[in-house]
Structure 1
Amino acid sequence: MFLSKTPVSLRPQILFSSDSFPNSKINPNPNPNGLLLKPLRVQPITASTAPPPTPAQTRVDILAESLPFIQRFRGKTIVVKYGGAAMKSAALQRNVLSDMVLLSCVGLRLVLVHGGGPEINAWLLRTGHEPRFHNGLRVTDAPTMEVVEMVLAGKINKTLVAEINMLGGTGVGLCGKDARLLTARPSPDSSVLGFVGEVARVDPSVLRPILADGHIPVIASVAADETGQGYNVNADTAAGELAAAVGAEKLILLTDVAGILEDRNDPGSLVKEIDIAGVRRMVEEGKVAGGMIPKVSCCVRSLAQGVRTASIIDGRVPHSLLLEILTDEGAGTMITG
């Protein structure tokens, strides 16, 4: 959406050459597998090989066209759930966070709720624990809960906050345990799922001064019950309940699919906009199934509690947040009440 001029790099680009330094005394074939490795030729990247900058007029036209959308959302709260494929790529992660900093700079109040399933899986495997799931939810025994807290409330949260700060925003790291932001209760399937919790209560008091100051709260989806026992809370569910509690204008779930599809096997059958009744019909018909059911359920629940719109968008698309908020086109499926 917002494009900037890319500076031309004058650093040399290193290329393999079959005829470079033919008289070198260095062994030209040190690889025992027979791959011929020779010294390298240097080819500088110049203005002629770099991508052309976006014309200045185009950039200001884009900014001008964004004005109605900025006016619509300025001062409004938008809760973004971040996870899935958008967290696997460093480039996409920077896109997401730079989008949030940009939107914060023009007056939107952003709340970022994050998961971290792939990273949790990796850490569990390192510690000799096989990740297990039941009905799309992570089975969380005591050792798994320790890993969940370490990864979500520690490593990932701190990384996201640091990146936001580096991009010029102000991130504030939190988890559901902080200031009783989220109070959990055991899942009805706790006998199978272990320390997987539902959201029993939300106290957004700690968020209000953070948002009023233009900062971005970054919230890990772990919480505790009344006794202090920690629980792993589904990040989609946590985001939906937080959106309702802060009176958000919009809930956005960043995921690794295009959105809700009329035909699950046809990416071209994206449903751009649908109401609650339509979503329920698609669930009954089996068109929404598997991991999409918890996502649409939390969207429907947040809408029922006063959130204006909820969107499931494709986090694999660069700057999908800007496409969703600052254009008519959007970047996925928007659900309305």
Structure 2
Amino acid sequence: MPTNPRLSDTPKGSPEEQAEILMQALPHMLRYDDQTVVVKYGGHAMGNETVARDFARDMVLLEQSGVNPVVVHGGGPQIGAMLKKLGIVSQFSGGLRVTDSATIEIVEMVLCGSINKQIVGFINAEGGRAIGLCGKDGNMVTAKKLERPVTEDDAHHEDHVDLGFVGEPDRIDTTVLDQVLGRELIPVLAPVAQGSDGETYNVNADTFAGAIAGALKAKRLLFLTDVPGVLDKNKQIIKELKVDDIRRLIADGTITGGMIPKVETCIYALDQGVEGVVILDGKVPHAVLLELLTDHGAGTLITR
């Protein structure tokens, strides 16, 4: 594996301390041996090269430890930047981007092209063997057009809005992933899929990751976000939650705003067959390793 010059500045401790750390990780490594872990990678972490390279090293270490990592990435900010650069004005309805024919071409170019290959490149540079794929490959994900009711603030009623080429997973075929996993390869998936109508659809990366994790019966689905996890009313992280706890916390106003769709996606993934879902801060160095290979974890674990 290539030498990382930043590691020379990191205190390593005595050989005995290093051995103790490895011994503490051993039972966790055994727990995840030959298990599938899906990691949804997005947020500000994708824009920080140092964090991105740390993430790549985490994926390589997991694969070398006997885990089968699957990466699903987003790219909203990068898509927005490219649309602006090309002079394509985005239209929104109820806070949702309307994706027309011109926009979906840019979405596919950015997600399946530049972002996907950058992540693949980082993993390969750290000694891994990553391959970039999207939902179209091998008919992995077949999407259906998403029509979401949007409440207009002035009228206080719901309308069904045509969001264009925005989709949601309809069918999952794991044939390609079944051939890849367990063969020292790390799949990196872009959330772009084809519909049964032949059109290309942009799929929300969280929903895409949940569908993939469910179809693979993943041991864990990790959502790397911009927050440390689900917080209580005192802004302290909640280490573990059950589905019933989530519904209660939404009802009493503890879980609000953008965290609501995040935890709803966690419930969806559990319904699809995932054993546990974790929300954690992707900006924390080696957050994935801290969550999977230490006693205390790094985020909020949600189970049924």
1:278 aligns with 2:278: no
Q: Please report the RMSD computed on the Cα atoms of aligned residues, expressed in angstroms.
A: 1.9
Aligned pair partner of 2:136 in 177, 185, 194 = 177
Q: Secondary structure at the match of 2:223?
A: strand
1:294 CA displacement: 2.2
Aligned pair partner of 1:218 in 173, 188, 195 = 188
How do residues 177-256 of structure 1 correspond to structure 2 at under 5 angstroms?
Answer: 177-189=136-148, 191-256=161-226
Correspondence for 2:39:
80
Q: Secondary structure at the match of 1:238?
A: helix
Q: Distance in 1 between matches of 2:201 and 2:144?
A: 8
1:137 CA displacement: 4.0
Say if 1:128 and 1:60 are closer, same or farther in 2 by CA, change over 3 A.
Answer: same
Correspondence for 2:84:
125
1:333 CA displacement: 0.7
Task: Answer 1 or 2: which has greater strand percent.
Answer: 2
Query: TM-score, with normalisation over the residues of structure 2?
Result: 0.90
Give, as a single letter, the amino acid of the residue that structure 2 aligns with 1:115: G
CA contact (8 A) 2:147 2:162 kept: no
Deviations 1:174-211 (A, max 9, x none): 00111100100011237342211010010011001110
Correspondence for 1:153:
112
Q: Which runs of 5+ in 1 are unaligned?
A: 9-49
CA contact (8 A) 1:186 1:197 kept: yes
Give, as a single letter, the amino acid of the residue that structure 1 aligns with 2:140: L
Q: Distance in 1 between matches of 2:10 and 2:123?
A: 27
Q: Secondary structure at the match of 2:29?
A: helix
Say if 1:196 and 1:203 are closer, same or farther in 2 by CA, change over 3 A.
Answer: same
Aligned pair partner of 1:319 in 283, 286, 292 = 286
Give, as a single letter, the amino acid of the residue that structure 2 aligns with 1:292: M
1:298 CA displacement: 1.5
CA contact (8 A) 1:136 1:291 kept: no
Q: Secondary structure at the match of 2:87?
A: coil
1:115 CA displacement: 0.4
Give, as a single letter, the amino acid of the residue that structure 2 aligns with 1:218: V
Deviations 1:115-149 (A, max 9, x none): 01111111111012344545564321222111110
For the pair shown, the structure with the greater C-alpha radius of gyration is 1
1:7 CA displacement: 6.9
Query: TM-score, with normalisation over the residues of structure 1?
Result: 0.82
Correspondence for 1:331:
298
CA contact (8 A) 2:224 2:280 kept: yes
Say if 1:282 and 1:160 are closer, same or farther in 2 by CA, change over 3 A.
Answer: same
Q: Distance in 2 between matches of 1:171 and 1:51?
A: 27
Say if 1:162 and 1:51 are closer, same or farther in 2 by CA, change over 3 A.
Answer: closer
CA contact (8 A) 2:177 2:187 kept: yes
Q: Distance in 1 between matches of 2:125 and 2:210?
A: 28
1:72 CA displacement: 0.4
1:221 CA displacement: 0.4
Q: Distance in 2 between matches of 1:128 and 1:332?
A: 39
Percent of residue pairs identical? 47
CA contact (8 A) 2:93 2:161 kept: no
Q: Secondary structure at the match of 1:110?
A: strand
Q: Secondary structure at the match of 1:193?
A: strand
Question: Bigger CA drift: 121-130 or 318-327?
Answer: 121-130
Correspondence for 2:151:
none
Correspondence for 2:52:
93
Q: Secondary structure at the match of 1:129?
A: coil
CA contact (8 A) 1:254 1:315 kept: yes
Correspondence for 1:306:
273
Q: What is the number of equivalent residue pairs in this alignment?
A: 290
Deviations 1:280-319 (A, max 9, x none): 1122223223322222112101112221100011111111
